[in-house]
Structure 1
Amino acid sequence: MQTTPSLQQPANTSIEKPSSPWRDAWRSFAKNKIAIAGLSIVVFFILVALFAPFIMPYDHTKPDLINRLKGPSAEHWLGTDDFGRDILSRIIYGARISLWVGFSCVAGSILVGCTLGIVAGFYGKWVDTIISRIFDILLAFPSILLAIAIVAILGPDLQNALIAIAVINVPNFGRLIRSKVLSVKEEEYITAAKSIGMNDARILFHHVLPNSMTPVIVQGTLAVATAIIEVAALSFLGLGAQSPDVDWGKMLADSKSYLVQAPWTMIFPGIAIMLTVLGFNLMGDGLRDALDPKMKQ
């Protein structure tokens, strides 16, 4: 008598989750210890900025002339500045402004630059020519000098510094996504979408844009680090944050006269800038390795 073979699978058979490009990218990113270290630094400073009012040991604006230019101690871990204000508290509060300006500048640059770049790459012809020449004109000026000129025209203010830094980064994102759109629009699925009568807006938002954003994400991460340095440079020159607001660049400007007498007033804000920029650069390199197919090969 023949026995019918069992069709049941073993009970311990595991079903793997379907793979996706973003899940694969995260797995690749998570394996990169240096990238995870950069992400940890960025998350740390973001949390410091978010919870600054609750973790500052002192009021960052309250002077204490009796304790001016005191070195690091148990009472003031990072010392005090020329007005006796706690440096640790000012660094913690300065993280809010520095990170907010960095993210806001990059968000504005991505919005304007990607819009112009997508239109230029998709439609081509005279539209591409005009937009590309605008990018070339902006790139012809040294970025920091152009930012200084814009702030000088608009007036020294943190908001105007934000606008200036956003403007000088627009052509970087515009040219990046334009080159990507030029290759994406030649793909067969774009031709198929046009053949069935899909309008340009739907093709742009549902097909071209999602398949062109990978390099923009990587560049955006690296651009935040650059924006933080640029806003610190403008504040150092007196064109950024104005009292009573404070960012790390203004702290450097206020302490430049005391570099020999009280070096901690400049060292610790400089370290904060260095660590934040390092974190974004490490994270950006990890994203590039995870999202770029060429790097995976």
Structure 2
Amino acid sequence: MAELAKNNSTIPIVEEEKVISPWKEAWNSFRKNKIALVGAFIVLFFVLIAILAPFIAPQTENEIALGNRLLPPSADYWLGTDDFGRDILSRIMYGARISLWVGFFAVLGSIVMGCALGIIAGYYGKWVDTVISRIFDIMLAFPSILLAIAIVSVLGPSLQNALIAIAIINVPNFGRLIRSKVLSVKQEEYIMAAKAIGMKDSRILFNHILPNSMAPIIVQGTLAIATAIIECAALGFLGLGAQPPEAEWGKMLADSKQYLIDAPWTMIFPGLAIMLTVLGFNLMGDGLRDALDPRMKS
């Protein structure tokens, strides 16, 4: 007995490993990516500016002072004034609200429509898949900005119609992405088991397939917001998006292009705002891709 007790005392005790959820593991990976954190801080900076614009902006976005038109940056006007004497800094702050609002809700609409069509096409297949996939192919055959211009031309130039157009042109990207994911997920054993026990298709789709297909949608959605901001600015620059006197960055560029030589600050600062916002979303999207894609993990 003494010898048995001695042997038992030498048996190593194996500690139970802590189970980390996939989302927590992704967050730990994301926060170790310094470049992705820089992008997240840039995005957070512009989001805070958009939220706090009414409280921190030196002036309202449409306050006209013709006596102060085209003033260069100074202590009174940090980023100068435009051709109507409006404070450019204030207009950029209020413009952040418009660009982020359009970017977020346009992509949200694209995700909802694209995921609905992509899930139906990937899960049911056959002629349903063929019809939906051909619709996606036809839409992708046109350059996205030209398709957006055509949609806004039919609906009429306005910020709301620009949002609708941007949402529509991005539907095929999300639809094809979720379709490919569904095609692989529906072959898993747990999906086949769910079908075997008679589980309804709607429950399989929303409880099993959709949650397991969200990682690429999150990554693509983050990157798509950057694209939507550029498209919103492009439509505004062409006069098909935001209408005067709305403080939208693309419209600010269009109104200032004739002053590029005499007052370059009227174009430089709105352009920098677009560039930094898009850069932030792209850096954050790349970080999310690295954190959520199992193939990128060691």
The TM-score normalised by the length of structure 1 is 0.95
- Write the distance in 2 (CA, Å) between the matches of 1:50 and 1:82: 26
Matches within 5 A, 1:238-253: 238-253=239-254
Structure 2 counterpart SS, 1:58? coil
Matched with 1:82 is 83
- Write the distance in 2 (CA, Å) between the matches of 1:106 and 1:94: 18
- Write the distance in 2 (CA, Å) between the matches of 1:284 and 1:15: 35
Structure 2 counterpart SS, 1:235? helix
2:123 corresponds to 1:122: yes
Look up the equivalent residue of 1:135 and give its one-letter code: F
Matched with 1:132 is 133
- Write the distance in 1 (CA, Å) between the matches of 2:110 and 2:54: 29
- Write the distance in 2 (CA, Å) between the matches of 1:233 and 1:133: 28
- Report Cα offsets for 1:216-260 as digits up to 9, x if no partner: 110000000000000000000000001121210011011001000
Look up the equivalent residue of 2:243 and give its one-letter code: Q
Structure 2 counterpart SS, 1:211? helix
- Write the distance in 2 (CA, Å) between the matches of 1:173 and 1:222: 12
Look up the equivalent residue of 2:165 and give its one-letter code: A
Matched with 1:98 is 99
Matched with 1:266 is 267
Matches within 5 A, 1:51-62: 51-62=52-63
How many percent of aligned residue pairs carry the same amino acid? 75
Matches within 5 A, 1:55-70: 55-70=56-71
Look up the equivalent residue of 1:216 and give its one-letter code: I
- CA drift at 1:17: 5.2
Matched with 1:107 is 108
- Write the distance in 2 (CA, Å) between the matches of 1:268 and 1:245: 17
2:9 corresponds to 1:22: no
Quickly say closer, same or farther: Cα 1:15–1:61, change in 2 above 3 A: farther
- Report Cα offsets for 1:94-138 as digits up to 9, x if no partner: 000000000011000000000000000000001101100110111
Matched with 1:222 is 223
Matched with 1:11 is none
Matched with 1:296 is 297
Matched with 1:185 is 186
Q: Which runs of 5+ in 2 are unaligned?
A: 10-14
Quickly say closer, same or farther: Cα 1:63–1:15, change in 2 above 3 A: farther
- Write the distance in 1 (CA, Å) between the matches of 2:251 and 2:108: 23
Q: Which runs of 5+ in 1 are unaligned?
A: 8-13
Look up the equivalent residue of 1:125 and give its one-letter code: K
- Write the distance in 2 (CA, Å) between the matches of 1:196 and 1:221: 37
- CA drift at 1:18: 3.0
- CA drift at 1:59: 1.6
- Write the distance in 2 (CA, Å) between the matches of 1:231 and 1:204: 33
Moved runs in structure 1, 4+ residues, more than 2 A?
14-18
Number of aligned residues:
291
- Write the distance in 2 (CA, Å) between the matches of 1:288 and 1:169: 19
- Write the distance in 2 (CA, Å) between the matches of 1:126 and 1:255: 51
- Write the distance in 1 (CA, Å) between the matches of 2:234 and 2:247: 13
Look up the equivalent residue of 1:83 and give its one-letter code: F
- Write the distance in 1 (CA, Å) between the matches of 2:176 and 2:247: 34
